[in-house]
Amino acid sequence: FNDLQWVIDAYTLTLAAIVLTAGSLADRLGRRMLFAAGLAVFSLSSLAAGLAPDATFLNIARAVQGIGGAAMFAVSLALVAQEFEAGRERGTAMGIYGATIGVSVAIGPLVGGAITSGPGWRWVFFLNVPIGVAALAMTYAKIRESRDPNATRVDWLGLVTLSGALFALVLGLLRGNDDGWSSTTIVALLAGAAALLVAFVAVESRVREPMLPLGLFRRRAFTGVQLAAVGVSASLFALFLYLTLYLQDYLGYSPLQAGIRYLPITLVTFFAAPVAGALLGRIHARVLMAIGLVGTGIGLILMSGLGADSGWTALLPGFIAAGIGVGLLNPVIADVALSVVPKERSGMAAGINDTFRQVGIAVGVAAWGALFLSRGSHKVAKLTSGTPLAEGGHPRQLIEAITGGHLHAAVNALPPAARGAAASATRQGFLAGLNEILLLGGIVALAGAALALFLVREREIEHETPAISPPASPQPSLA
């Protein structure tokens, strides 16, 4: 589990573990206050990351950055709900919010590639500092404070058990393909996550003011919108990693050049999201969610026909379809996630939705990684059958080499007579693995569309949602 992986995963880990906690605390302590605190933590940790003298310091800064990011993610959606009344005004705001999320995911490689190719990687972090300072000033100038007036205490035991469960779960998923799913470490992490999750459910069923009222899951619309979030996150967003590997490691583009190739999906997403915002209230939310997930699924399936002679333009039809899909989907998910809970619990609602998104991405990356390595290795073994390359774990090592960006070094370590066959087989194995996970990702998105149609009912999406009923026969608080 090398330092480069930790630069990415340290942030993901703390973000996923803390985001629901941040949303729940925001409802009690103040949404503007927690959002501003998140901005400050994110900005300061970005400065620390840019100044990092070594990999360990950088990874610690990234973990702290994830804590700040969790506060911003969880509270930003709640602030939108606070500032804009339900109806057409909020629909427009959700459209802009959804466009921002979609574009930020897709345009990240372009901006990161441009900065890395120019001033250097440290400026990826330094750039966050002035943006964060400006956003902090605007937060206090433009946003009023709000909190749940009925909240009297913090569910600390619930916060600790859920955060611990999410931390262990996401860490286990991130490390599974590297350490082996049957390794003692991974089994312990996943078992620990399950035990803490059971403890969390027990706590939440007993406390008088739970951070996550379990009765919410009896509302089909609430469950449906979370599954829709998992569907798009585990499919398209998780697969961006492998599409980037295709553009950079297979086609040989630089980070900047690869980022430019993402512009079509970025632009389509940006223009589709406001359309979804305008349609909110005119077309049933479940229909819009299903259309968005179908578009995402079709897009991924269209991408899954890559051949040895395909260029990046082979991705264009899929990029356009998926861009329309995710552009329509993001604003609707955000609006429904807020509309099925009381307004005073909007921070909690946003935190739940972001938690499902982050876990969906982690599950997707882990699952697609395992399938990609398995399918790719099998293809390499088949192509090199009867030769020394098919033995001694070489097929898997070659697939891991191309995904790690060091295929050239791995091939050069082989005997000269085997190098040509190894490079050719590995490239074919890469395509076999990529095409399979793109196809399966499309199927996951289509399954999410079916679940959204089945579960989400318009009558449960109310602008003035009744208060959440406490668990039956509540016991004395454990918090």
Phi, psi (rounded to 5 degrees) for 210: -70, 145
Q: Tell me the per-residue pLDDT of 182-226, one tens digit each, with 9 for 90 and over.
A: 899 999 999 999 999 999 999 988 888 888 888 888 888 889 999
One-letter amino acid for residue 399 of the chain: I
- Residue 468 binned pLDDT confidence (cut-offs 50, 70, 90): very low
For position 397, what pLDDT does the model report?
79
Look at residue 461 and give its three-state secondary structure. Answer: coil
Q: What is the mean pLDDT of the chain?
A: 85
- Residue range 126-141: average pLDDT? 93
Nearest CA-CA partner of 71 in 108, 122, 17, 115: 17
Alpha carbon distance 256, 114 (integer Å)? 5
For position 4, what pLDDT does the model report?
62
Judging by beta carbons within 10 Å of its beta carbon (0-12, 13-18, 19+), is residue 447 exposed, middle or buried?
A: middle
Cα distances (angstroms) measured from residue 177 to each of 6, 182, 439, 463: 14, 10, 21, 44
Alpha carbon distance 219, 370 (integer Å)? 34
Topology of the domain covering 3-154+211-374+431-460: Growth Hormone; Chain: A; (1.20.1250)
For position 219, what pLDDT does the model report?
86
User: Does position 299 have pLDDT exceeding 90, yes or no?
Assistant: yes
Q: What pTM was estimated for this model as a whole? A: 0.84
For position 456, what pLDDT does the model report?
85
DSSP 8-state symbol, 127: T
More confident of the two residues 11 and 413:
11
Chain centre distance of CA 47: 24
For position 87, what pLDDT does the model report?
66
For position 126, what pLDDT does the model report?
93
